[in-house]
Amino acid sequence: MLLLCFAKSNGELLWKGELDTGSELHMKGNDASPSPVASGNRLYVRTEEFLYCIGE
């Protein structure tokens, strides 16, 4: 699963990162398919196995 960050003003790609490669049983997707959640300077993303917190 890729996490992409775009600038709101012009749509420019600011950064990207790979968080998870998906389930071994279901390679078409994983439990983190819905949108991530932002709170202040932090971004939270839940996958089948982990809860990621990105930011300060």
- Measured CA to CA, the distance from residue 33 to residue 26 in angstroms comes to 13
Q: Is 3 exposed, middle or buried (0-12, 13-18, 19+ CB in 10 A)?
A: middle
Q: How far apart are CA 1 and CA 11, in angstroms?
A: 20
pLDDT tens for the chain, residues 1 to 56: 778 888 999 999 988 888 766 556 555 655 556 678 888 888 888 777 778 888 87
- Rounded to two decimals, the pTM is 0.56
Which of 46, 39, 40 shows the shortest CA–CA distance to 19?
A: 46
